[in-house]
Chain A
């Protein structure tokens, strides 16, 4: 049996989280309902819609921050990649609501006050308390939203995207005071102001705790440092990281850490990399494909370099089950699966898709593990044309793994490969809840 950490955090699943978010949204709408005397005329409709959207924005940013607060139940329950997708999706939605909120309030106030939209905008900006700050916040959020969409299309560097994202904290702080000062649901409602503030403070504390305090404590306790760097394949390197009392981290195969290497050129950004071997009590290994400036610099790491590591994160860990297991790796997505492959008991098949022989990482290790534990490794190498058709079709999968629909499947690879593989597995008859996947682009 693989070593199961004793104190695994409780997990919150997608449904539970969604239900919690929706319940919160309904409470927010009830707050508006309670505080609003009634809606009359065009101005009333516009202002009312603007108020509801404003409240939802104020609530939405809190949810978005909480999704990224590295809360263990969410990290273990949904997985970081899914949380990031929810965050991105929710972020687009909330930014749209922010824009709509601003426009509707200006328009609605202008209609009720019988002034033009332009002069009402001026009044709002200059005379309403804190509205100017909130407008700056709205512009910041919109800017971050646009940059994130460009980052998703890889037109912006990861680091640029990361640092611009820090402005969202500033935006949230700037927007907060206008909510209580002019928000119709809060003026004259002390209890609402109290609970609203409590919600913000709670999330702030969670962020500071899980994103700052816990990693700092872990850094002091485990004293991570680089032991060495090894070339695995062209453009692929492994970094060995040592430390003390690493077993107390309760890391499992398939999980990852966010690594910050404390050298002059790398200290200011952290990057997620999966463990590529089962975590030991004094050494961890990550394996990195050369994807950008950052991963290139990793090849030059010197032994003894101190490392700041946040984690372990990720829900991509083997489930407790007696069924056989199929592992499906694409390219450098082999890294977490390599660790799972070595740790899992029972019948295991590994299918490893790579575009060429040279790109196969860990061939010797994988063959050795397969021989030692009695598992099966299939290499699907070459482009589609060379293989002659879809390498991951349901038919191919069935021929490699005859009892496919009796198995748990774990897929890790680039986004396109992952979704194609999940589709093929579904078509081959594997139930959805037995397909686990992680996409490493986030």
Chain B
């Protein structure tokens, strides 16, 4: 019985120690941009994305470039790909008269289903926050701090270009 208690408490104590050390890693990850070729693109330009492959995954938000299917008066601006611990995030802004009307996700972490699941609930929230705020000063989605940070970094770089 003493052994059982020792094993259980030892395991839990070890886990808590490990995890609490890890939780002191700063929550905003490396948002350094990977030499992305982001930039203003007219509706005719190709929508090549940088720093990772474009993956379309299940989830109710625009994915992949919308540049080819924009009505007149709307322009697409690609943000730079922002690296996160789970992979790069790159977004595309659709603007009409300097107003953000849509955000599409060009590149997102999709190494595991878990990444995709997190994206599926985080991106719609981040996008609606962006449309409401019209700038990059938006809150991170809880439970998706890395994805949020990558999104915000890419969004900021797109705003910088269009400004």
Contact in complex: B85, A37 (CB < 8 Å):
yes
How far apart are the CA atoms of A183 and B2 in the complex, in Å?
33
- Knowing A37-B86, A40-B145, A184-B112, the reply to whether A45 touches B117 (Cβ < 8 A) is no
How far apart are the CA atoms of A188 and B20 in the complex, in Å?
25
Contact residues of A between 205 and 224, Cβ < 8 Å to B = none
Contact in complex: B143, A112 (CB < 8 Å):
yes
Q: Does A138 contact B (CB under 8 A)?
A: no
Q: Of B15, B25, B145, which is within 8 A of A52 by CB?
A: B15
Contact in complex: A38, B118 (CB < 8 Å):
no
Chain B neighbourhood of A29, CB < 8 A: 18
Residue of A nearest to B7 (CB): A93
Q: Does A187 contact B (CB under 8 A)?
A: yes
Contact in complex: B22, A48 (CB < 8 Å):
yes
Considering only CB atoms and an 8 Å cut-off, how many residues of chain A contact the other chain?
A: 32
Residue of A nearest to B140 (CB): A40
Tell me the dominant secondary structure on chain B's binding face: helix
Contact with A along B97-133 (1 / 0, CB 8 A): 0000000000000011110011011000000000000
Contact in complex: B19, A48 (CB < 8 Å):
yes
Contact residues of B between 19 and 72, Cβ < 8 Å to A = 19-20, 22-23, 25-27, 29
Contact residues of A between 17 and 36, Cβ < 8 Å to B = 29, 32-33, 36
Residue of B nearest to A89 (CB): B3
Contact residues of A between 76 and 103, Cβ < 8 Å to B = 89, 93, 97
Contact in complex: B19, A109 (CB < 8 Å):
no
Residue of A nearest to B117 (CB): A113
Contact in complex: B18, A52 (CB < 8 Å):
yes
In this complex, the interface size class of chain B, counting residues with CB under 8 Å from chain A, is: 20 to 34
Q: Does A253 contact B (CB under 8 A)?
A: no
Contact in complex: A41, B18 (CB < 8 Å):
no
Chain B neighbourhood of A123, CB < 8 A: 113, 117
Chain A neighbourhood of B120, CB < 8 A: 113
| Residue from the set B20, B84, B114 with the largest chain A CB neighbour count within 10 Å | B114
Residue of B nearest to A43 (CB): B143
How far apart are the CA atoms of A37 and B144 in the complex, in Å?
12
Residue of A nearest to B113 (CB): A128
Contact in complex: B113, A45 (CB < 8 Å):
no
Contact with B along A236-271 (1 / 0, CB 8 A): 000000000000000000000000000000000000
How far apart are A193's CB and chain B's nearest CB, in angstroms?
A: 13
How far apart are the CA atoms of A431 and B71 in the complex, in Å?
90
Residue of B nearest to A181 (CB): B112
How far apart are A108's CB and chain B's nearest CB, in angstroms?
A: 10
How far apart are A397's CB and chain B's nearest CB, in angstroms?
A: 28
Contact in complex: A49, B15 (CB < 8 Å):
yes
Contact in complex: B23, A44 (CB < 8 Å):
yes
Chain A neighbourhood of B15, CB < 8 A: 49, 52-53
Contact in complex: A187, B118 (CB < 8 Å):
no
- Knowing A113-B117, A113-B121, A123-B117, the reply to whether A33 touches B25 (Cβ < 8 A) is no
Chain A neighbourhood of B112, CB < 8 A: 182, 184, 187
Contact with B along A164-188 (1 / 0, CB 8 A): 0000000000000000001010011
Q: Does B146 contact A (CB under 8 A)?
A: yes
Chain A neighbourhood of B121, CB < 8 A: 113-114
Q: Does A39 contact B (CB under 8 A)?
A: yes
| Residue from the set A37, A45, A187 with the largest chain B CB neighbour count within 10 Å | A37
Q: Does A127 contact B (CB under 8 A)?
A: yes
Q: Does A151 contact B (CB under 8 A)?
A: no
Q: Of A40, A49, A52, which is within 8 A of B27 by CB?
A: A40
Residue of B nearest to A37 (CB): B85
Contact in complex: A38, B143 (CB < 8 Å):
no
Chain B neighbourhood of A97, CB < 8 A: 11
Residue of A nearest to B29 (CB): A37
Contact in complex: B27, A38 (CB < 8 Å):
yes
How far apart are A219's CB and chain B's nearest CB, in angstroms?
A: 40
Chain A neighbourhood of B118, CB < 8 A: 112-113
Q: Of A33, A44, A129, A187, which is within 8 A of B111 by CB?
A: A187
Identify 20 new A-B residue pairs, CB closer than 8 A, beyond the known A33-B22, A52-B18. A37-B85, A38-B22, A40-B143, A41-B145, A45-B19, A45-B23, A48-B19, A48-B22, A49-B15, A52-B15, A53-B11, A89-B3, A111-B143, A112-B144, A113-B114, A113-B117, A113-B120, A113-B121, A129-B113, A188-B111
Binding site for B on A (CB under 8 A): 29, 32-33, 36-41, 43-45, 48-49, 52-53, 89, 93, 97, 109, 111-114, 123, 127-129, 182, 184, 187-188
18 A–B contacts from the bound complex (CB under 8 Å): A37-B25, A37-B146, A38-B27, A38-B29, A39-B23, A40-B145, A41-B145, A43-B143, A45-B19, A48-B18, A109-B114, A111-B143, A112-B144, A113-B121, A113-B143, A114-B143, A182-B113, A187-B111
A-B pairs, 4 with minimum CB distance: A37-B85, A38-B25, A112-B143, A39-B22
